Amino acid sequence: MWFQKKMQLAERPRGYHLVTGEVLRQLPEIDEIDMGWLQVFIQHTSASLTINENADPDVRVDMEMVANTLVPESLPFIHVCEGPDDMPAHFKASMMGSSLMIPVSEGRLALGTWQGIYLCEHRNRGGARRLVLTLNGQA
């Protein structure tokens, strides 16, 4: 069985945001999958996706701090036409990635106990973000 759905995430402030629940609410079909995969793809170049700690919100704060330390806005970027946060956002998005492949087992994402899907918003005002969810598996 193949299933694909596009969804939009509401605008969020810069930072790392858990979106696992929002993704799952868009995919009631996952209940029918015994074994398969979910690909989550973000259609943007200044935001990204990753999987990480879903319990302690301090992890999300630290993730933002490390990303800003690795790619500070103070670097002498040439691409600045969309503001000083744009090129650092592009670089952070390339570092983190634009898609995730998550196994599905017995109607559930086979994430670890403390894992969740993050939207990594790298812009100060990135706007709403679009995701493409592609579910494949056998019932």
Please report which residue ranges of the chain form alpha helices under DSSP H.
Answer: 20-25, 57-70, 86-96
| Contact by Cβ (8 Å): 118, 12 | no
Q: Are 103 and 4 in contact (CB under 8 A)?
A: no
Tell which residue, 124, 100, 136, 105, has the closest CA to residue 19. Answer: 100
Superfamily of domain 2-138: YjbQ-like (2.60.120.460)
d(CA 16, CA 3): 27
**pLDDT per position as a tens digit, 27-59:** 999 999 999 999 999 999 999 999 999 999 999
- The answer to whether the pTM exceeds 0.85 is yes
Residues of the chain with pLDDT under 50: none
